[in-house]
Structure 1
């Protein structure tokens, strides 16, 4: 009984009664159409679905599945994780613990992947409560302690109080009543410090501990206090659970009229709120009640009704499992198709990059080739011009050689003429001078003859001088002739 209430403590962290909850839902309904498509819209759907969970699990489920579908379209893993966590809560409240655990594990895996410690802490606490129903107490202890450690790290005092209640339920099932009561008292202290309305849930669990110890007076006091709070806040899930527990207590204490009153009230509320799992359990208690007063036919009727609801729940769970498998199959199919499309896009992207690189390289090589070709043309033009200059130089050189040759020939001719002229024109005066000198050496020559010789030497010298002058003049004018 306390397990579902503990679960609601974790669920309704910011809700202070049905009026506040309805205001929250109304506010979220108005905000939903304004949320931008994509992640913001998914978050808005998840918040609205979570708000509906204590009011209408059917509407909560519809919104959550819509959120999952949209989150998958945008590959929004955080949105999917939040939606799975809410589905875990929905199926827990319905009593479909297998589905609740399955979705909770899906959410936990995603939160771990995203390194979301807060999300992990919440899901771990939910799993602990689910395994309480499955009576797998080792997992209850493990998940509760893991959740508590994460909440302490985050400084979440309300979350720590919630985990204390989960651990208290574990110790209650282990019949460790002192430890369970200590944890409930610690949780109640944390709630009271924060002026948190959820202290009533700690009181209810204390009632369960007294009930298990058969301290009916103390248990009744705690149950009545918790029921008053749940009715005041219009918390129908808690009201059904507490009324059912009070009916069970009255049956055990043989207060049959009070037992029937509480059980009948709980059954009508469970039927009104479509809480089939609670309705089945209440029918089983009503069967015990009618057995106790000797009305076997009524006891048989409620036994059959309880069995029919149990079959209905089983069939519904089976249908939900099939639907879930189909949904997961569709999701996986869509994921495979999406992955296939991503592969195609990646291949196209690689092809585009390859073609782009080829075009880029072609452009680069084209520019390089153009520049090289341009340089080659310039070099060719330069070479042609250089060849022309060399050709001109060669032509000029030939002309210069020819001119030089002609000049040399001319000079040679001059030399020849000079030699010839020297041999003929110069040689004569020189020979006469030499002859006169030799003649002047003779002893027989008289003085007057010597004077004649000197006169002739003078004439020969003047003649030679004139010849030399003529040679110079002709050399200067280039008039030497053979």
Structure 2
């Protein structure tokens, strides 16, 4: 309840301050000494009403525009277009707003109004931010900054740095964003713009929050909030409330998060700021979803989608209307150009008709010769094709013969492979027999032979007939054994 009362108090103070400025300008309006002064006051009123009532701001801007155009006051015309562009852009009519800004910048360029051109570039950059065309937004902000550095306008320079910071925030380049916001703050401090310094600090906390420095960002944000009743920048206040709400959400404090986001939503709705209203509802939906309160998240997401759809459809209609207008203008220009071209073509045709006739005759002759040459070429090509066909048939026949020869060679190779395999098997078998024979000879023949040699050695020194008789019997046995081994060898060799 306390926070709600604070919010109401802030809004009332904002509106009171805005009303004081508006009342002052209203009192000066009847006292204007010239049409130009009256137009300037109307434009200042229109700009003041952008913080209070956008519909009234547009009415005053259109009144100033009519007077300025009727009296040839280009400076006032440019200011009126600029105010109309601001009002349309805030309400989400981005194409219409950009069209007004382009008209304003053209006039200010003709007037060599460097400061005015730079301000319009900044406004165009903000529209491109709404449309999420960040690269073009950076281009316009840098153009504005380059112009402002040529003149002494630190407040506008700070604004431009802040716009660049917002673009980099949307591009999620938080380090670059913080650098731009810090430059904006330092520029404000250097120029002694204390009030502006607070708003640049408010920009910095968005980057600090994105970097995860929640406590530092919250501390700065609350200090700025306590100073809000002194100032009357409604739209920066909405942005501050949204940022503080997101910080509380990141810190896990749902109550404070939704409280600040609701403040931002209500203030945006009261000012008819469609862009801020869309952002506030999106952040509310994201916050409730984060805390798993899906009914509330769905409710605000539905509001976000509806409002965004309304703005998108309105913007789309404006774009279609602009395209139709452009098409009609281009169509009229094309018709006029076609008529002029037709007259020139008729004159040209009368002048060089005979030349065209000669050219056509020559062309017919050339075509006829080309046709005749082509016909000859076709006959020659047919003859060559016939020769190629005959050669092709010969090649096919030779190919067939080569195929048959290759088949015969393949068959012979297979037969040779079979013979080689048989011979290899036979040699292998013979080798096995030789190995077996060698083994048999080494073991079976050597034994009996060694015994015979041994008995002969013993008999050479023996004198007893009985012993000699015994040795003879053993010799006979060994001889029979050796004979059996030899027979076995013969049998194996014959096998």
TM-score of the two chains, using structure 1 as the length reference: 0.58
Alpha-carbon separation, structure 2, partners of 1:71 and 1:328: 25
1:260 is matched with 258
Aligned to 2:40: 43
Q: CA offset at residue 231 of structure 1? A: 4.1
- The answer to whether residue 282 in structure 2 is matched with residue 284 in structure 1 is yes
Partners of 1:301 and 1:185 lie apart in 2 by 37
Residue in 1 that maps onto 2:183: 186
Which whole-Å deviations, capped at 9, do the CAs of 1:237-268 have from their partners, x for residues lacking one?
A: 22222212222232333321111211222223
Name the CA shift for 1:269/1:170 in 2 (closer, same or farther; >3 Å): closer
Q: CA deviation at 1:80?
A: 1.3
Equivalent in the alignment of 1:144: 141
What per-residue deviation string (whole Å, max 9, x for no partner) do you get for residues 22-47 of structure 1?
33211111111232563332222111
Partner SS, residue 154 of structure 1:
coil
CA shift in 2, pair 1:21/1:146, >3 Å: same
**From 293, 303, 309, the counterpart of 1:305:** 303
Of 223, 226, 233, 2:224 maps to: 226
Q: Is the 8 A contact 1:28 1:48 kept in 2?
A: yes
Measured in 1, the distance between the counterparts of 2:312 and 2:110 equals 33
Normalising by structure 2, what TM-score? 0.57
> Is the alpha carbon distance of 1:147 and 1:68 closer, same or farther for their aligned partners in structure 2, counting shifts above 3 Å?
same
Q: Deviations over 1:115-157 (max 9, x none)?
A: 2111111111222222233333332232222212221211222
Quote the residue 2:131 is aligned against.
Answer: 134
The Cα RMSD (Å) is 3.1
The answer to whether residue 151 in structure 2 is matched with residue 154 in structure 1 is: yes
Residues 442-461 of structure 1 show CA distances to partners (whole Å, capped at 9, x for unaligned) of xxxxxxxxxxxxxxxxxxxx
1:326 shift after superposition: 11
CA distance in 2, matches of 1:322, 1:226: 43
Shift of 1:177: 4.2
Matched residue, 1:270? 268
CA contact (8 A) 1:247 1:262 kept: yes
Kindly name which structure, 1 or 2, has the bigger radius of gyration based on alpha carbons.
1
- Return the offset for 1:203: 0.5
- The equivalent of 1:77 in structure 2 is 74
Flag structure 1 segments of 5+ consecutive residues without an equivalent: 1-15, 333-482
Instruction: Give the number of equivalent residue pairs.
Output: 315
- Which among 35, 52, 55 is matched to residue 52 of structure 2? 55
* Separation (CA, whole Å) in 2 of partners of 1:121 and 1:43: 19
Q: Structure 1 residue 121 and structure 2 residue 124: aligned? A: no
Contact 1:200 1:225 (C-alpha < 8 Å) held by counterparts: no
| Aligned match of 1:241 | 239
Q: How far apart in 2 are the matches of 1:327 and 1:60?
A: 26
* Deviations 1:422-462 (CA, angstroms, capped at 9, x unpaired): xxxxxxxxxxxxxxxxxxxxxxxxxxxxxxxxxxxxxxxxx
Q: How does 1:57-456 map to 2 (within 5 A)?
A: 57-196=54-193, 197-317=195-315
SS class of match (2:45): helix
CA distance in 1, matches of 2:50, 2:326: 22
DSSP-derived class of the 1:207 partner? helix
Q: How much has 1:319 moved relative to structure 2?
A: 6.7
Mapped contact 2:54–2:271 kept (Cα < 8 A): no
Instruction: Measure the CA separation in 2 of the matches of 1:259 and 1:69.
Output: 46
Using a 3 Å threshold, how does the CA distance of structure 1 residues 211 and 30 change in structure 2: closer, same or farther? same
CA–CA separation in structure 1 for the residues paired with 2:27 and 2:325: 29
For residue 149 of structure 2, give the secondary structure of its aligned residue in structure 1.
helix
Distance 1:37 1:323 in 2: 37
Query: Cα gap change, 1:311/1:174 in structure 2, threshold over 3 Å: closer, same or farther?
Result: closer
The 3 A distance-change label for structure 1 pair 269 and 173 is: closer
Which whole-Å CA distance do the structure 1 matches of 2:232 and 2:157 have between them? 25
Structure 2, unpaired ranges of 5+: 1-12, 330-495
